[in-house]
Structure 1
């Protein structure tokens, strides 16, 4: 008997043979068993022995039994192999998933149907200032401000029933989280759910947006400060334009008129001995003064029409439309229906400047022959529209040079709480529509 712990060679060979047989195809094994069994039985009996039939039947029984045994063994081995492979693949997938969760730049928290934490990845530890050891098993409400806990629990319960969530990351309202030290912070969140047997698991992905909210708040504040500065500059410029226009109209205009009267007096005082050249020169001076007076009035009107302050917005717009037609030969159809509205000085100035800028753009860029100007009193608002039949513009086209015309229109409308809408297409004209709340442009009645 061998002294080693290994089995004898013959036994090993037999085991190998059995293993090889079990690994062989079942049909081949059955045929082999049948032939061997039949041969053994026939060797012990004669061919014409009465028990020949019994030998054949016994050989067939042994062959069938071998066939069933081998096939059963092969199926069991195959099933075990598939089960082991499935378990191995499941473990590999789980390991990959956990690696993704741990390395994610988003905070990931998984809770069960009792809203207790079962997964708390490293980014969640960093965001909430709490270790996974302390978080796992704790209720999710621990990380939610108290005033939002009831609503959040209701939302999760509703989500579990409907499978629909309105908290998708990036396009929803900002939520609030609670750090371990009691500090609240803004976050965005998305939620999903899966079933694990009879248990429902909810996975929440969180993003701390504290820095983004701070940047947005600073940007809004800077934008509002710039708008306030722009409004103040607009007011200062309007005041300066008004002062210069008044001085040109009242001071320089009157002086030129007086000079013209003096020249007329000199012409009348000259006797018949004065030469024709002197008289022609005096007439030329008078014509030059007339031209200068007209230029002064035009400049003063361009700075700020006196009638805007003296007569109001509607006469000023009428004068502006007539002056535009006289200068550029472009007809202006007017549709002005404001009822008995009384415009405030700031509102009248803003609307007049918007019309002025829109007509200037038509003259410079539109190549139009007709402009339709409409000012209508709507419900709780005034709607100003300037449309032309010019060449229009491509909405996506880049301007050849920086233009502040439309930007100025938008700023003036914004200062009054209004909105600007533009409709244009190449070859189909340009329509500028400004809607401004009535309360911001009308004269406020003093209550006594």
Structure 2
């Protein structure tokens, strides 16, 4: 009996295809990304958000208005690994931003923010699952630190990979550090992400493992109790052993103290990663002479409010608590506080005038003065700066009261600092703030 050669060829092809598929399904796949000091890569992130946000009631028991929210971000940078922990985790990287842009609309109010050119180069220090940046080129704004802190640290996504070899259809749980990175939670209290190896594809000469993930996670963030519903996938380059692409869709539900929804956001996030070699801005020559280890000076923060016509530098352990057209208030954990009061042009107070006001206040408060200094001029970043100081007993406390009067043609300011007598080291912090004071023309200056 004759056999049709066409049918024989088709049967042979089907047999070979079935064998190849069976072999692929049985193949044990290793997905392990190995990090090394000096590695370079390019990262691109795109995110969109939309939803409804419930605002706090203006009065206790009053209505809580709800406003529509929409936001987007575009972030591009190149990065070089500087230091690894003994367990292989990343401790420090050097990063050069090419773009960092955020757009946000709440109701009718729209905000657009971009990274300053002076802050394009940063060192990222990893502490747990948090990123703590500083710039070798100068102090950062708190808003710039916050943007980096909430961005996804791409190398931490290795926590999505399996810890053992897997085959098609196998599932595993993502590590908690990867979940925290994707959700920006501070702590996971319930739930998990389940990952599954879906298929192997060939793209541009590389074998890519496509892995899906999904899950519901409850935890706490700076916004309070939160629930995240996540689903997405990523490609792991089996040829280069590298997580190359991730796409995520999610819904975030903000909860009140009784676990009732108070807001909902839905969004999409896409991240791409690319290995680099010999990037000029990451070269040894580009990094030569830069301080790449955090210290007291390069971790200082910048306060710069053009609307107030005021800028200054302050140590990172201090926090700006209030900033309005009349005054800026700062404090720190050991009892130190600083009040900077703004003077309008033509109403600038000299050091002697300021000391007279302080003397009157001390007499009114019945303070015991143990020590006082005379007014003297001290170095300033711009303008004239005068300083005097008291050590007093006030309301059963022993305090050092430190004062500065700043004068400039565009306006002046007075600085009053209060520190416990047991914390004299805080006076150096106050001096940093005072000597960096700058005033510039602004639209709304207060009148004395």
Structure-2-length-normalised TM-score: 0.24
Structure-1-length-normalised TM-score: 0.24
Bigger strand fraction: 2
Larger-gyration structure (1/2): 1
Q: Which has the higher contact order (CA 8 A, sep 6+)?
A: 2
Bigger helix fraction: 1
